[in-house]
Chains A and B, each alone.
Chain A
Amino acid sequence: NAGVTQTPKFRVLKTGQSMTLLCAQDMNHEYMYWYRQDPGMGLRLIHYSVGEGTTAKGEVPDGYNVSRLKKQNFLLGLESAAPSQTSVYFCASMPDSGANVLTFGAGSRLTVL
């Protein structure tokens, strides 16, 4: 049982390049989340999904897009990366609205030059 797996773990991009972060969970969880972690800013919610085929905006959605085509996968896309998107990105999942515990992945460190 792997839990929540994020790929890649590290990536360096140039300004303007695009990329996709993949989050996969094998726990059959309905809810999935993308957070970014920056020094002094804590964990800020980018986008989330409450089920296959659904997505919703969080606190800081600008510059990101997401897709949840399959229940087990939640993709975070950067269409045109900017230095301000340099961060550590965490994916998390939760069974459903009746549960409360988030299971986090190990994080993906993204640097935009």
Chain B
Amino acid sequence: SQTIHQWPATLVQPVGSPLSLECTVEGTSNPNLYWYRQAAGRGLQLLFYSVGIGQISSEVPQNLSASRPQDRQFILSSKKLLLSDSGFYLCAWNGRGHSNEQFFGPGTRLTVL
């Protein structure tokens, strides 16, 4: 069966510090991978998605970046965090079929102080 891991679960970082969140998927190959951010009481905002190694599409201009160094690894980074980067970060995957539902990791709650 497929599983998706995210870490860390929670993170408190000062403004201006760097960020690295990691997501890995097991039990599948060549997945589509997604990074979302969810502000409190809000819907999901798609940040990045990837259809393959080294292929990253950005949906929203911001100070975040993403990388996919391996087939089942997706990393979200920032060089300098802003207060507005606080939120719940979710990684998700789905298979190649267009109607496939997305499966989410447990999420990382980031607080920037």
A and B bind = no
